[in-house]
């Protein structure tokens, strides 16, 4: 809460956020849009609360409309490597993230991600916005860099907490794998449900900066907190984004050349019966 107090005393909240505060409202207040972002910013401050005073400054700078940007800070998310090899697909990642988070996200001159909190109509998933801003802030607060690099596989280099920090923050990004998910998405679903933006956010969740979230859990080897946050984002985006039911692919004898990821209860049930689903799934070529 300290960040709010500092800003209010300096009279800079409107300047910092672009929102107009309504007299008598202790928080950002006013329009529905402000209420939305008030909640985001409030939750972010709660997240940062345990980090100590130095991070409050990071938070303030990131709400000033220019969050991120490696040229000004030591930490951040660098897309430089992937952008050099695949600039068109990096544009797709950014476009998806804009849609999914409702933020305005682009790259600075050094290839680092930065975001703006837009005014006006707010769309997207509050969970995605929180997760993305929170990750950006953690990177800046810890001065860690997430490197997104070209790869034949889609993964984070290491989720071992004892591995070198740079490996825990390296996203190996396979554009072919993502194109495969897009192509294999059943017609009833939005083909961005495991597209460039969601795949990026998924891998970001595995990084040290993103919280080292797992795809499995003690209760379920095929479902964990990283899938859970993605499904929450999908719920907020709409029913046609589906729900990833199990992170491990399902193979059935009736269709031996493909692997299936069920994105609906019906598809899961159909697959468990050994039959080919007609909706609510993503298939990939079986290797
Ligand atoms: Zn994963």
How much is the pLDDT for 14?
A: 33
pLDDT exceeds 80 at position 38? no
CA of residue 23 to ligand 1 center, whole Å:
46
How much is the pLDDT for 44?
A: 59
CA of residue 214 to ligand 1 center, whole Å:
7
Neighbours of ion ligand 1 (CB under 5 A): 215
User: What's the 3-state SS for 192-261?
Assistant: CCCCHHHHHHHHHHHCCCCCCCCCCCCCCCCCCHHHHHHHHHHHHHCHHHCCCCCCCCECCCCCCCEEEE
> For residues 121-156, b (16+ Cβ closer than 10 Å) or e, as one string?
ebebbbbbbbbbbbbbbbbbbbebbbbbbebeebbb
CA of residue 154 to ligand 1 center, whole Å:
8
Least confident of 3-7, 95-99, 159-163: 3-7
| Residue 64 vs residue 153, higher pLDDT | 153
d(C-alpha 132, C-alpha 43), whole Å: 13
Across 135-148, average pLDDT: 92
d(C-alpha 105, C-alpha 103), whole Å: 6
What are the Cα distances from residue 228, in Å, to 120, 145, 152, 179?
A: 29, 25, 26, 23
CA of residue 206 to ligand 1 center, whole Å:
7
User: Are 168 and 162 a contacting pair, CB within 8 Å?
Assistant: no
Strands 155-156 and 170-173: antiparallel
How much is the pLDDT for 17?
A: 36
d(C-alpha 222, C-alpha 60), whole Å: 38
Torsion of CA 197, 203, 205, 208, to 10 degrees: -140
Greatest mean pLDDT among 7-21, 48-62, 183-197 lies in 183-197
| Residue 178 vs residue 39, higher pLDDT | 178
DSSP class of 28: S
How much is the pLDDT for 34?
A: 53
- The two tokens of residue 104 are 């305005």
d(C-alpha 273, C-alpha 24), whole Å: 60
CA of residue 53 to ligand 1 center, whole Å:
33
d(C-alpha 213, C-alpha 224), whole Å: 8
pLDDT exceeds 90 at position 284? yes
pLDDT exceeds 90 at position 31? no
CA of residue 13 to ligand 1 center, whole Å:
38
pLDDT band for position 71 (cuts 50, 70, 90): very low
pLDDT exceeds 70 at position 7? no
How much is the pLDDT for 123?
A: 86
d(C-alpha 178, C-alpha 149), whole Å: 14
How much is the pLDDT for 119?
A: 81
How much is the pLDDT for 177?
A: 97
How much is the pLDDT for 24?
A: 28
Share of the chain above pLDDT 70, in %: 74
CA of residue 236 to ligand 1 center, whole Å:
20
Task: List, for residues 252-283, the tens digit of each pLDDT value.
Answer: 999 999 999 999 999 999 999 999 999 999 99
Across 129-145, average pLDDT: 91
Task: List, for residues 164-211, the tens digit of each pLDDT value.
Answer: 999 999 999 999 999 999 999 999 999 999 999 999 999 999 999 999
Average pLDDT, the chain: 81
Across 135-147, average pLDDT: 92
3-state secondary structure of 129: helix
Domain boundaries, the chain: 2-248, 249-287
């Amino acid at each position: 809460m300290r960040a709010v107090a500092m800003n209010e005393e300096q009279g800079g909240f409107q300047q910092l956020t672009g929102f107009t505060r309504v007299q008598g409202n202790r928080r950002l207040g006013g329009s529905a849009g402000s209420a939305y972002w008030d909640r985001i910013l409030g939750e972010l401050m709660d997240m940062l609360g345990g980090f100590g005073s130095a991070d409050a400054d990071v938070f303030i700078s990131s709400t000033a409309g220019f969050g991120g940007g490696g040229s000004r800070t030591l930490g951040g998310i660098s897309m430089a490597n992937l952008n050099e090899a695949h600039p068109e697909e990096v544009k797709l990642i950014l476009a998806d993230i804009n849609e999914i988070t409702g933020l305005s996200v682009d790259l600075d001159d050094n290839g680092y991600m930065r975001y703006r909190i837009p005014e006006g109509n707010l769309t997207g998933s509050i969970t995605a916005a929180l997760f993305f801003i929170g990750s950006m802030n953690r990177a800046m607060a810890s001065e860690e860099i997430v490197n997104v690099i070209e790869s034949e596989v889609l993964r984070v280099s290491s989720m071992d907490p004892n591995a070198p920090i740079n490996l825990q923050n390296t996203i190996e990004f396979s554009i072919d794998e993502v194109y495969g998910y897009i192509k294999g998405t059943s017609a009833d679903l939005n083909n961005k449900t495991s597209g460039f933006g969601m795949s990026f956010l998924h891998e970001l969740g595995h990084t040290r900066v993103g919280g080292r979230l797992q795809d499995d859990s003690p209760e379920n080897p095929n479902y964990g907190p990283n899938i859970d946050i993605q499904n929450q984002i999908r719920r907020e985006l709409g029913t046609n984004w589906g729900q990833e039911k199990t992170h491990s692919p399902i193979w059935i004898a009736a269709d031996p050349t493909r692997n299936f990821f069920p994105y609906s209860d019906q598809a899961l049930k159909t697959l468990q019966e050994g039959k080919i689903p007609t909706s609510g799934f993503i298939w990939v070529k079986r290797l």
